[in-house]
Structure 1
Amino acid sequence: MESTETKPKRSWLKLFLGLFFTLAIVGAAIGYYFYNQMFGVNLQLKEARVVSIPKNCQSIEQLATLLEEEKIIKNKGSFVFTANQMKYSIKSGKYKIAPSIQNNRHLVRVLRGRQLAVRLTFHNFRIKQQLAGYVGQQIEADSLEVIQLLEDANFLAQFGYTPENVMAAFIPNTYEVYWDCDALTFWKKMLKENKKFWNEERLAKAKKLELSPIEVYILASIVESESQYKPERPKIAGVYLNRLRKKWALGADPTVIFAVGDFSIRRVLESHLLVESPYNTYKYAGLPPGPIYMSSINSIDAVLSPETHQYMFFCAKPPEAGQAPNTHAFAVSHRAHINNARRYQRWIRTQ
């Protein structure tokens, strides 16, 4: 016969085991919930995506909403939970998320890592508004922020530039910046690259010509606009340098087109030469106040290493067999230049 003392013991044992298994099940459920929140599939990417996190994204909740709107995550609540558990601090920037990233924990690790660099390539802008528009499309700073900086005379004066010549700070090339950089960071990056470009050799050549780097750039922008045929640029640079030395007006058609502001002009007329502007190099001797184009490195080096000759004039010439198209005829005297110009005009009339 079972003693009365063993019955309470068994009751307590059953109660303990029941409570234990209940807690185990609840614990397992909670554990599974937490595991699923962090490691469960929450991303819906079929291909790699790039997400941009702006600086005004201040909270995990805002970021989760952004990721959900971009259709990167399915459940923003689980992302918020995981990010908070991992003590994630928001880092603005541009990040690439691969399709292999499927859970919140891995996504947070990606967003904690090194952001993607943005490649900026510019080489054919005429005015700073075009440059600002392009840059504003590539980085977080918008074009208005960039153009305001490039037109701030007091700010630019600290670096030796003016709103008119500021384009000379930009050396055409491909550069890498972070997407979340602001206009000031972008400007400092360009100044650093400009300083790198103007090495001792180039500075020595500019000094020999008695020109500053900005003046070299301005002249190079005219040379660039005159000829797309690179081998001819040192000769054209030599003509303009000869004119500068003799204090002649440069008489450069591209500067007149810039002054008029109609870049569809293909032939400069007498009426165009009457425009009142410091960029009209038929009216005013010396260099214009700033570049008329974003000068290429090739044109800058053409000015720094010009051909030495006596030519004072040049004009377009008719194409000849075996020669590159769109080249020029050069002349020492005005009479020879007029003859070259008439020859070209006669050819034009036959076309």
Structure 2
Amino acid sequence: MYIKKILLIIVFAGLVGGGLFAHKVYNAVFLPNTRFETGEKVVYIPSEANFATVLDSLSPLLQDLGSFKQLAKRKGYASRVKGGKYAIKKGMNNNDIINTLRSGNIPVKVSFNNQERLPNLAGRIAAQIEADSMALVKAMTDETFLRDNGFTADTGLAAYIPNSYEFFWNTSAVEFRERMIKEYHRFWTAERIAKAKAQGLTPNEAVALAAIVHKETAKVDERPRVAGLYLNRLKQNNVLQADPTVIYALKKHRNDFDLVIKRVLYKDLEIDSPYNTYKYVGLPPGPITMPDISAVEAVLNPEEHDYFYMVANVENFGYHKFAKSLAQHNRNKEQYIRWINSQHIKR
């Protein structure tokens, strides 16, 4: 009888202990373990992060970090941390959180346009993905990459087609570059290449001209006319005389791309730079900015006309007055000079 009582006590204690353990396990796995009030919190886990880094990131978000830590170790996540962007939703339990960190890497939208140089582009991209600007510049300017893909240090910016793209936040600099070269080849279809060739241009030359068109006018509907004007000049082997190229040459010469120049002076036209299209015939060595796709399309589909000159239209700001002859252009130019002098714009 005594032995039976002891056995019953042992069994009962085992049941109670097992129940308590099961309850503890249930709580650790299935009970909500978040302590924030908003719908979700985003955490960024660096590519080289270890489990301690993950715990630091989650500490402000979880009620019981210890239970999460224990379950993560049991499920093997602690030794297989994955970098990325993850959304922890209010009311998630530890199991949900671990599964999210394993397979819930959220893509991010990466957007860029109108960058003047590769370092500017790198800075823009570094603000949107994990790769830092130094790594991006190194990847973008790699000589082997440029040579193998038909670019130079001057034309490298043309490899990046401005748009919005979906990436994982933990994309590396090289992965970003390789994705962009694929997008470049996707953009430059056989049809677009043929249109560039019809204008006597390679794709890189088309981008270089589009960059000038882009800088000359922000009016999308005017860009085909401006493109047609510069193509007329190229076909006549005339200097392009594009003020934006002179401004770029001045910035490059001074190594100051934050320089603001509202008025190009006659003395500026004398700068000895291959980007100065007042001094050198043909296109500059590379694009002076990253042109909008609309500017590239304007070069590929230019307006056909006999214009060779243009000047800002002070009667319709943002647009230009076009001329077929130098005499007509000089009359238009006099009106513009009177206006700019009246605004006291010296530089």
CA distance in 1, matches of 2:152, 2:62: 48
- Unpaired runs of at least 5, structure 2: 252-256
Confirm whether residue 51 of structure 1 aligns to residue 43 of structure 2.
yes
1:104 aligns with 2:100: no
Could you tell me how far 1:303 is from its partner in structure 2?
0.5
Q: Equivalent residue for 1:325?
A: 317
Which of 165, 181, 187 is equivalent to 1:197? Answer: 187
Distance 2:5 2:313 in 1: 108
C-alpha distance in structure 1 between counterparts of 2:195 and 2:152, whole Å: 23
What percentage of residue pairs aligned between the two structures are identical? 40
Distance in 2 of aligned mates of 1:42 and 1:114: 18
Cα distance in 2 for residues equivalent to 1:154 and 1:200: 25
Tell me, yes or no, if the aligned pair for 2:249 and 2:275 is still in contact at 8 Å.
Answer: yes
Instruction: Give the aligned partner of residue 254 of structure 2.
Output: none
Q: Which whole-Å CA distance do the structure 2 matches of 1:295 and 1:146 have between them?
A: 20
The aligned counterpart of 2:75 is 86
1:334 equivalent in structure 2: 326
Which structure 1 segments of 5+ residues have no match? Answer: 1-9
Q: Distance in 2 between matches of 1:176 and 1:267?
A: 39
- 1:165 aligns with 155
In the other structure, the counterpart of 1:7 is none
TM-score normalised by the chain length of structure 2: 0.91
**Higher gyration radius (CA):** 1
Residue 30 of structure 1 aligns with which residue? 21
Q: After superposition, where does 1:128-167 map in structure 2 within 5 Å?
A: 128-167=118-157
- Structure 1 residues 107-158: Cα deviation after superposition (integer angstroms, max 9, x where no partner): 1121122311110111222222221111111111011111122222233211
The equivalent position to 1:312 in structure 2, one of 284, 308, 313, is: 308
Query: Contact conserved, 1:168 with 1:217, CA < 8 A, in 2?
Result: yes
Distance 1:96 1:308 in 2: 53
- Tell me if 1:123 matches 2:113: yes
Q: Read off the aligned partner of 1:345 and give its amino acid letter.
A: I
1:288 lines up with 2:288 in the alignment: no
Paired residue type of 1:86:
K
Which residue number corresponds to residue 172 of structure 2?
Answer: 182
Distance (Å, rounded) in 1 between the aligned partners of 2:250 and 2:52: 53
How far apart are residue 240 of structure 1 and its match? 0.9
User: Tell me, what secondary structure is at the counterpart of 1:225?
Assistant: helix
Instruction: State yes or no: 1:219 paired with 2:215.
Output: no
Render the CA deviation track for 1:249-278: whole Å, top value 9, x for unaligned. 111100110111164111100121122221
How far apart are residue 56 of structure 1 and its match? 0.8
Structure 2 counterpart of 1:158, one-letter code: D
SS in 1 for 2:86: strand
Question: 1:37: Cα distance to partner?
Answer: 2.2
SS at match of 1:139: coil
**One-letter code aligned to 1:19:** I
Aligned mates of 1:268, 1:348 — CA distance in 2: 11
Secondary structure in structure 2 of the residue aligned to 1:271: helix
- CA distance in structure 2 between the aligned counterparts of 1:154 and 1:18, rounded to whole angstroms: 77
Q: Could you say what secondary structure the match of 2:90 adopts?
A: coil
One-letter amino acid of the counterpart of residue 80, structure 1: K
Amino acid in structure 2 at the alignment position of 1:309: H
- The alpha carbon displacement at 1:98 in A equals 1.4
Contact kept? 2:33, 2:64, Cα under 8 Å: yes
TM-score, structure 1 as length reference: 0.90
What's the counterpart of residue 297 of structure 2?
301
Contact 1:65 1:76 in 2 (8 A): no
Name the CA distance, whole Å, in 2 between partners of 1:232 and 1:250: 17
SS in 1 for 2:76: coil
Contact (CA 8 Å) 1:118, 1:177: kept in 2 or not?
A: yes
Distance, in Å, in 1 between the alignment partners of 2:296 and 2:212 is 10
Contact map agreement 2:216 2:244 (CA 8 A) in 1: yes
- How many residue pairs match? The answer is 334
Q: Matched residues in 2 for 1:350 and 1:53: separation?
A: 57
Q: Aligned with 1:138: secondary structure?
A: coil
Instruction: Give the aligned partner of residue 75 of structure 1.
Output: 64
Deviates more, 1:273-282 or 1:251-260: 273-282
Paired position in structure 1 for 2:268: 272
Counterpart CA distance in 1 for 2:197 and 2:270 is 34
The CA distance in 2 between the partners of 1:16 and 1:100, in whole Å, is 42
- Cα distance in 2 for partners of 1:199, 1:20 equals 77
Q: Distance in 1 between matches of 2:151 and 2:63?
A: 50
